Amino acid sequence: MILFSFIMLFLLPQTGSCHGTRFQLLPEQHPVCDRFYYSGGAPMAFAEVLVFAPGEELIEFQNGRTDGQGFFAFCPPQSGKWRVEVNDGRGHKVNALVDVLNVLKKDNVTEPIVAIAIHGHGTASPGWKEVVLGLSLMMNLWGGLSWMKKKFSS
């Protein structure tokens, strides 16, 4: 009976559920393209990107990664201030605010007319808190070693 089941399973025609995929090149579409890089000029290659629509704080409109040259593009369907967060996963993060001034809609295609980066900053260099913490750590280590040397030399 089991042998018969296997034979029937492989010999009978099977119907499958599948669907095709397509793509469309939109030469008239003008995405907002940003480049992210370190202070030395090297690109933030393959860094994680989150794009938030105007007024949205929690759920991203789009996510992805920069390419090997640090570029990332998105097509905003509305005007407003778009927040773009880029994180390389190694302690470097950029928070940028991109103002899309006008969006033209024609034939179901959205085209940003003007996009201006109005604000962007990164966390590539240590701030004053990190510097103070580092100095404090070194002074405490030096003090502890000096105390141990004095205690054990007596």
Q: Is residue 124 part of a domain?
A: yes
Instruction: Tell me the residue range of the domain where 45 lies.
Output: 27-133
pLDDT band at 151 (very low <50, low <70, confident <90, very high): confident
Backbone φ, ψ for residue 33 (5° rounding): -115, 125
The residue with greater pLDDT, 113 or 65, is 65
How far is the CA of 53 from the CAs of 32, 73, 119, in angstroms? 13, 14, 15
CATH of the domain at 94: 2.60.40.10
Helix (H, G, I), strand (E, B) or coil at 152: helix
Q: Is residue 97 part of a domain?
A: yes
Q: How many domains does the chain have?
A: 1
**What distance in Å separates the CA atoms of residue 84 and residue 49, rounded to the nearest whole number?**
7
Q: Which of 38, 91, 106, 40 is nearest to 66 (CA)?
A: 38
Question: Are 46 and 72 within 8 A, CB to CB?
Answer: no
Predicted pLDDT of residue 113: 54
Residue 47 has pLDDT above 60, yes or no: yes
Q: Is residue 12 part of a domain?
A: no
Question: For 72-79, what is the mean pLDDT?
Answer: 87
Q: Which pTM was predicted?
A: 0.61
Of the listed ranges 40-44, 80-84, 110-114, 134-138, the least confidently predicted one is 110-114
Residue 87 has pLDDT above 80, yes or no: yes
Q: Is residue 3 part of a domain?
A: no
Average pLDDT, the chain: 79
Residue 73 has pLDDT above 60, yes or no: yes
Q: Is residue 93 part of a domain?
A: yes
pLDDT band at 76 (very low <50, low <70, confident <90, very high): confident
Q: DSSP string covering 37-97, please?
A: B-TTS-B-TT-EEEEE-TT-SSS-SEEEE--TTSEEEE--SS-EEEEEEEE-SSS-EEEEE
Question: Are 72 and 115 within 8 A, CB to CB?
Answer: no
pLDDT band at 118 (very low <50, low <70, confident <90, very high): low
pLDDT band at 70 (very low <50, low <70, confident <90, very high): very high
Identity of residue 148? M
Question: Are 111 and 104 within 8 A, CB to CB?
Answer: yes
Predicted pLDDT of residue 72: 94
How far is the CA of 126 from the CAs of 71, 122, 134, in angstroms? 25, 10, 10
